[in-house]
C-alpha cells in the first residue's frame, strides 16, 4: 500500500496552519504581517517558525510488521521446504507482506513472482498475475522495447482459462433396455409451443442420466413418441441446437442468448457435456468489463467454473479502474462461500488481499476499502493472515475516526501476535484522553521484549521534555531509518532558533534517505530563514521525485509553492545553469544537481539529454522508480533516432536486459557515432561478456571511441574514470593513473577514489589515504569516501572512519561487518553478534545475515545459525555461500 496514513492529531493541528501564499508575500526580503503591527525580530522569527513548521506524528503503517522478521522469514522458508504444493503461493504471499513491512520493493516483487510461479490453481495464477501487472503499471514500455529486439517480455496478462480447467469426462454409459417387452422407439419428438423437434432418442438420452431415465427407463415418457417440453424454459431454437449437439458434440454457430438458455437447461437436466461446452464458448465471449458483469451472475447461478474464472480475469486485468465500477464492487462485496468457490476456487484470501491493496491506494477511507478488508479478515485461515487483516482494517477504521471498532480490531491483531498493533491502541487511548495509559503500555512492551526503534518512537509521543528526547534518541539508535525523530528534533531546534543545529539534524537523514517529508521540512526552514535560493532547490528536488506532490498536509501543490518562491530568487541564464550544474556535480551535491536540471528543463531545448542526466542522479540517490520515469521522458524527448536508441538501450540495461541494451547501442552507432552510444555499449558489453579478459580490450576501445566524440566535461569525466577502472583491472596502473588525473583536471571528483586504488596497489597506502581525504573534503555526500579511505589506514583510524560512515549513512553494511569481525577476532562473540543484530533489526541484508549465521555456527548455536541461513535465503535464494553454510549446519559439521 503506497498510500500515506496520516495521524488524526496531525490533521487536527493543521486546520489553522499557514497559508503559504500569504507568507510568501514579501517586500524587500521581509515577511509582511498584515494582521498585526510589526513585532520584534525574535518574535517575528518565532511566529514564522510556528506557522510553518508542523511535524506530523508518525503514521501507523498498515503493514504486517512482526517483532522479529528474521524469525518469521526463517519459518516461512522452512515451511516452503516441506509444505504441499497448494500451500506455497500463500506462503510466498506472506513473505511478500513481510518484505513490504520492511520497505524492500525488489524483494516484494520477487515474492509475488514466486507466488505466481508456484500457483497450484488457475485462480491463483489469475490473482498473482494481475497483482504483478498492477505493480508494474507504467513499465509497459519495457515489453514494447523487448519486442523490437525480437524478445517477448514475461507477461502476466491473459491466461487461457479453458485449457487450465479441463472437463472431467464421465465415462459411464447409459445402456438401452426394453420396457414391458416393447422395443425402445428410435426417435422422440419434443413439442415446444407449436413447434415439433424430432430427435434421435438414444442421442438425447446419452446427454445425461435424467434424460436416459426419462427416455429409456420406467417413466411414461419412455413409451411416448411425443413429449411436451414447453414448460422447461427452452425455446424451439434452443432445442434444435441441443439436437445438433447430441449428434455432433458441437455448439458452433449458436448465438450468445441461445447459449445462456441452453446452459440453464443443461444444468437443470444434468447434461454435463452440454453444460461444459456452453461454459467454454460463453467464456470465450467475455471481452470487456460489461461482458463480465453481465455473464458472471449466470456463471455463479449455474456453477460454470470456466465462465466465472474468465469474468474474474477481465476484472483483475482492469485494475484499478474496475474498482470504481459499483457493479464490480457489489459482486465482490456480496459473493457467498459457494459463489467464491466457483469464481476464485481456494484463493479467496489472496484475491481480497489484492483488492484491498488496490482499494486502499485509491481511497483508504472509502466504504469499498472497508468492505474488502472485512472480507479479507473473514477469509483469513491462520493467525498470521489474521494479524495482517485485523491490523489493516484497524488502520482504516482509525482514519475514518471509528474509534471503538478500530480499538477492537487493534486488540484482535495484538491478541493473535501482531505486537506492532499496540501503536494503534496507544493512539486511541491518547485520543480518548488517557495519555498515561499509552505511555505505560509502551513501557511494558519495551521492558518485556527486545526493544525496536518504533517502540521508543511511539512512546515519545506520550511524554515531554527530556524523556521525549531520550526516547527519540533511542529510536534513532535502534532504527536510524525512522524519519520522525530527526524531524521532531530539527523542528524543536529551529523553534529555539538554533538554526545550524536544526539544519544539521535534518541533513543527517537526507544524507542517506531522500524522504519527501524531510525535504519539505527543510524547505519550510529555508522559508522561515528567507533563504529562498535554498528553498527553491529543495522544492525543485521534491518535484523531480514526485511531480504531483502536495505540501502542508496535502493542501498546497508543491508546484504552486515553487512558483511563489521563484519570484524571490535570481533568474539564471542557460549558461548560468550549466555552470551551476557543473559545480554541484563536481562537489557531489546530488540534490543540488537535481534542482538545477529541473530548472533547465523549463527552457532548454535539449530535454532528452537533461532527463537522462536526471535519471543518472536519481539512480545515485537510490530512487530507481523516479530514475526510470526520467529515462522514459528522455526517450520521449530525444532529438534524433540515434539518441532515442541510446535511451532505449539504457532502459533495457537498467531492467536487466543487457544483451538487448547492447543491441540498441549498436543500432545507434550504425546511424551515428556518439559518446553516449559508445559509452552504453561499453557498459553493456562489460556485463554481458562471458570472457572478462577478452572483453576488457574491447571495452577500452569503446571508451576511447566515446572520448573522441563530442560531449561535455561531466560525461567525459565519467568515461575517463571508467576507463581508469578497466586499466586497473588489466594491471595497467600507469595508464589508469593518467585517466584518473585527466578526469580530476576536468573536476570529476570521484576519480580521487580510482587514483587512491592505484596508489594502494603500488603499496603506497599513505598516498591512497591522502587521495581519499581530498575526495572527502570536496564531496558533500561522502559516506562512501570514508568507507573506502578506511581500507588505507591502521586499525584505529579505520574504526574512526567506519564510525563516521555509520553516522553519515547507517544503511551501509560494511562497517557493521568489519566491527563484528574485529570483535570476533578478539573472542568477544556475543558483542560481535550484537553488532550485526543492531543493523539486521532495520535492514534485511544477506551479507549481515550470512556473517551472523557463521558466528552462530562458530559458537555452536545450531538453531540460531539455521534461522539466519533460512532468513538469508529468503532474501537471496541463490546465494551460494549461504547454501553451503546451511548444508553444513544441517549436517552438524564443525
Distance of CA 893 to the CA centre of its chain: 39
Q: How far apart are CA 452 and CA 475, in angstroms?
A: 7
C-alpha cell at 368: 469499498
- The helix or strand, by DSSP H or E, that contains position 104, with its residue range, turns out to be none
φ/ψ of residue 692, rounded to 5: -55, -40
- Residue 189 bridge partners (DSSP): 198, 226
32, 12, 30, 23: which is closest to 50 by C-alpha?
23
Interstrand relation of 187-192 and 226-228 (parallel, antiparallel or unpaired): parallel
Output the pLDDT for position 140.
82
Q: What is the pLDDT of residue 364?
A: 96
Asked if 865 contacts 830 with a C-beta cutoff of 8 angstroms, the reply is no
Burial class (CB in 10 A: 0-12, 13-18, 19+), 382: exposed
Distance between first and last Cα of the chain: 45
Express each pLDDT in 699-757 by its tens digit.
999 999 999 999 988 899 999 999 999 999 999 999 999 999 999 999 999 999 999 99
Give residue for cell 532528452.
608
The torsion angles phi and psi of 182, rounded to 5 degrees, stand at -95, 145
Q: Which of 845, 833, 849, 829 is nearest to 889 (CA)?
A: 849
In this prediction, residue 36 carries a pLDDT of 33
Q: What share of the chain is helix, strand, coil (3-state, %, to 5)?
A: 70, 5, 30
- Do the strands 187-192 and 195-200 form a parallel or antiparallel pair, or are they unpaired? antiparallel
* Three-class SS state of 255: coil
- What does the pLDDT look like over 290-314, one tens digit per residue? 999 999 999 999 999 999 999 999 9
What residues pair up with 200 in beta bridges, in sequence order? Answer: 187
What is the rounded CA–CA span in Å between residue 53 and residue 520?
Answer: 10
Q: What is the DSSP letter of 59?
A: P
pLDDT given at position 691: 64
DSSP 490-529: HHHHHHTT-HHHHHHHHHHHHTT---HHHHHHHHHHHHHT
Would you state the pLDDT for residue 786?
97
Would you state the pLDDT for residue 27? 30
Whole-number pLDDT of residue 147:
83
Buried b (16+ CB within 10 A) or exposed e, 385-405: bbbbbbbbbbbbbbbbeeeee
pLDDT in tens, 187-243: 889 999 889 999 998 899 999 988 888 888 777 666 788 888 888 889 999 999 999
Per-residue model confidence (pLDDT) at position 232: 85
Three-class secondary structure of residue 227 per DSSP: strand
681: exposed, middle or buried (Cβ count in 10 Å: 0-12, 13-18, 19+): buried
Closest CA to 89 of 126, 119, 133, 132: 119
- Give Cα separations from 235 to 189, 248, 267, 297, 363 (angstroms): 14, 20, 15, 21, 47
Distance in angstroms (rounded) separating the CA atoms of residues 239 and 250: 14
What pLDDT is recorded for position 30? 35
pLDDT at 28: 29
Task: Tell me the pairing of strands 30-31 and 26-27.
Answer: antiparallel
pLDDT < 50 positions in the chain: 1-40, 171-173, 175-182, 894
Burial of 827 (C-beta count, 10 Å sphere; 0-12/13-18/19+): exposed
Cα 365 to Cα 617: distance, rounded to the nearest angstrom: 36
How far from chain centre, in Å, is Cα 350?
17
Q: What are phi and psi of 55, to 5 degrees?
A: -95, 115
Amino acid at each position: 500500500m503506497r498510500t500515506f496514513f496520516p495521524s488524526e492529531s496531525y490533521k487536527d493541528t493543521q486546520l489553522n496552519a499557514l497559508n503559504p501564499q500569504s507568507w510568501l508575500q514579501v517586500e524587500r526580503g521581509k515577511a509582511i504581517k498584515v494582521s498585526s503591527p510589526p513585532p520584534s525580530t525574535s518574535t517575528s522569527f518565532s511566529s514564522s517558525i510556528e506557522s510553518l513548521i508542523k511535524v506530523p506524528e508518525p503514521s501507523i503503517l498498515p503493514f504486517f510488521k512482526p517483532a522479529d522478521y528474521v524469525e518469521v522469514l526463517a519459518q516461512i522458508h522452512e515451511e516452503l521446504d516441506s509444505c504441499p504444493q497448494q500451500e506455497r503461493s500463500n506462503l510466498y504471499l506472506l513473505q511478500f507482506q513481510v518484505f513490504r513491512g520492511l520497505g524492500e520493493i525488489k524483494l516484494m516483487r520477487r515474492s509475488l513472482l514466486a507466488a505466481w510461479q508456484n500457483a497450484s490453481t488457475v485462480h491463483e495464477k489469475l490473482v498473482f498475475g494481475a497483482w504483478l501487472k498492477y505493480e508494474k503499471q507504467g513499465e509497459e514500455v519495457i515489453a514494447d522495447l523487448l519486442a523490437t529486439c525480437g524478445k517477448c517480455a514475461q507477461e502476466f496478462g491473459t491466461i487461457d482459462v479453458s485449457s487450465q480447467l479441463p472437463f472431467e469426462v464421465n465415462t459411464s454409459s447409459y445402456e438401452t433396455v426394453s420396457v414391458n417387452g416393447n422395443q425402445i422407439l428410435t426417435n422422440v419428438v419434443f413439442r415446444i409451443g407449436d413447434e415439433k423437434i424430432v430427435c434421435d432418442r438414444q442421442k438425447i438420452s446419452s446427454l445425461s442420466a435424467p434424460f436416459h431415465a426419462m427416455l429409456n427407463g420406467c417413466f411414461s415418457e419412455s413409451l411416448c413418441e411425443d413429449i411436451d417440453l414447453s414448460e422447461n424454459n427452452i425455446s424451439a431454437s434452443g432445442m434444435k441446437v441441443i439436437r445438433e449437439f447430441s449428434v455432433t458434440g458441437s455448439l458452433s454457430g449458436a448465438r450468445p442468448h441461445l447459449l445462456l438458455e441452453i446452459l440453464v437447461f443443461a444444468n437443470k437436466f444434468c447434461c454435463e457435456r452440454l453444460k461444459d461446452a456452453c461454459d467454454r464458448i460463453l467464456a470465450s465471449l467475455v471481452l470487456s468489463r460489461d461482458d463480465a458483469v453481465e455473464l458472471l451472475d449466470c456463471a455463479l447461478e449455474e456453477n460454470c467454473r470456466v465462465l466465472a474464472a474468465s469474468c474474474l480475469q477481465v476484472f483483475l486485468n482492469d485494475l484499478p479502474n474496475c474498482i470504481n465500477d459499483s457493479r464490480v464492487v457489489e459482486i465482490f462485496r456480496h459473493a457467498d462461500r459457494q459463489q467464491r468457490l466457483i469464481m476464485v476456487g481456494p484463493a479467496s484470501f489472496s484475491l481480497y488481499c489484492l483488492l484491498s491493496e488496490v482499494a486502499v491506494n485509491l481511497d483508504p477511507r472509502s466504504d469499498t476499502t472497508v468492505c474488502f478488508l472485512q472480507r479479507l479478515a473473514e477469509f483469513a485461515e491462520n493467525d498470521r493472515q489474521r494479524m495482517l487483516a485485523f491490523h489493516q482494517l484497524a488502520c482504516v477504521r482509525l482514519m475514518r475516526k471509528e474509534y471503538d471498532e478500530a480499538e477492537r480490531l487493534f486488540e484482535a491483531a495484538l491478541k493473535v501476535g501482531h505486537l506492532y498493533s499496540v501503536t494503534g491502541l496507544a493512539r486511541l487511548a491518547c485520543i480518548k484522553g488517557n495519555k498515561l495509559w499509552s505511555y505505560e503500555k509502551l513501557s511494558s512492551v519495551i521492558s518485556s521484549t527486545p526493544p525496536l526503534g518504533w517502540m521508543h518512537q511511539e512512546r515519545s509521543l506520550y511524554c515531554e521534555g527530556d524523556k521525549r528526547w531520550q526516547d527519540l534518541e533511542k529510536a534513532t539508535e535502534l532504527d536510524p531509518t525512522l524519519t520522525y525523530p530527526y524531524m521532531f528534533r530539527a523542528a524543536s531546534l529551529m523553534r529555539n532558533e538554533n538554526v545550524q543545529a536544526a539544519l544539521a539534524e535534518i541533513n543527517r537523514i537526507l544524507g542517506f534517505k531522500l524522504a519527501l517529508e524531510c525535504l519539505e521540512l527543510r524547505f519550510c526552514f529555508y522559508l522561515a530563514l528567507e533563504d529562498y535560493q535554498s528553498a527553491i532547490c529543495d522544492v525543485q528536488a521534491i518535484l523531480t521525485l514526485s511531480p504531483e506532490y502536495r505540501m502542508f498536509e496535502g493542501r498546497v501543490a508543491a508546484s504552486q509553492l515553487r512558483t511563489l518562491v521563484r519570484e524571490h530568487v535570481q533568474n539564471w541564464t542557460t549558461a548560468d545553469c550549466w555552470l551551476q550544474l557543473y559545480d554541484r556535480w563536481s562537489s557531489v551535491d546530488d540534490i543540488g544537481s537535481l534542482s538545477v536540471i529541473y530548472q533547465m528543463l523549463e527552457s532548454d531545448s535539449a530535454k532528452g539529454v537533461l532527463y537522462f542526466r536526471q535519471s543518472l542522479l536519481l539512480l545515485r540517490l537510490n530512487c530507481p522508480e523516479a530514475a526510470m520515469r526520467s529515462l522514459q521522458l528522455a526517450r520521449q524527448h530525444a532529438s534524433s533516432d540515434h539518441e532515442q536508441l541510446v535511451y532505449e538501450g539504457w532502459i533495457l540495461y537498467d531492467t536487466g536486459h543487457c544483451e538487448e541494451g547492447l543491441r540498441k547501442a549498436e543500432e545507434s552507432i550504425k546511424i551515428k557515432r556518439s559518446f553516449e552510444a559508445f559509452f552504453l555499449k561499453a557498459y553493456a558489453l562489460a556485463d554481458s561478456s562471458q570472457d572478462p579478459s577478452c572483453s576488457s580490450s574491447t571495452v577500452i576501445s569503446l571508451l576511447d571511441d566515446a572520448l573522441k566524440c563530442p560531449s561535455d566535461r561531466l560525461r567525459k569525466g565519467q568515461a575517463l574514470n571508467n576507463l581508469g577502472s578497466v586499466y586497473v583491472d588489466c594491471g595497467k596502473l600507469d595508464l589508469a593513473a593518467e585517466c584518473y588525473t585527466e578526469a580530476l583536471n576536468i573536476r570529476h571528483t570521484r576519480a580521487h577514489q580510482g587514483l587512491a586504488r592505484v596508489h594502494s596497489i603500488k603499496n603506497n597506502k599513505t598516498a591512497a589515504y591522502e587521495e581519499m581525504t581530498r575526495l572527502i573534503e570536496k564531496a558533500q555526500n561522502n559516506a562512501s569516501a570514508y568507507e573506502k579511505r578506511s581500507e588505507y589506514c591502521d586499525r584505529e583510524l579505520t574504526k574512526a572512519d567506519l564510525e563516521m560512515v555509520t553516522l553519515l549513512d547507517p544503511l551501509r553494511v560494511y562497517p557493521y561487518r568489519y566491527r563484528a569481525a574485529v570483535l570476533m577476532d578478539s573472542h568477544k562473540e556475543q558483542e560481535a553478534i550484537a553488532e550485526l543484530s543492531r543493523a539486521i533489526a532495520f535492514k534485511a541484508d544477506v551479507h549481515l545475515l550470512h556473517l551472523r549465521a557463521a558466528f552462530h555456527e562458530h559458537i555452536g548455536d545450531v538453531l540460531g545459525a539455521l534461522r539466519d541461513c533460512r532468513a538469508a535465503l529468503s532474501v537471496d535464494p541463490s546465494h551460494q555461500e549461504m547454501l553451503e553454510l546451511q548444508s553444513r549446519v544441517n549436517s552438524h559439521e564443525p
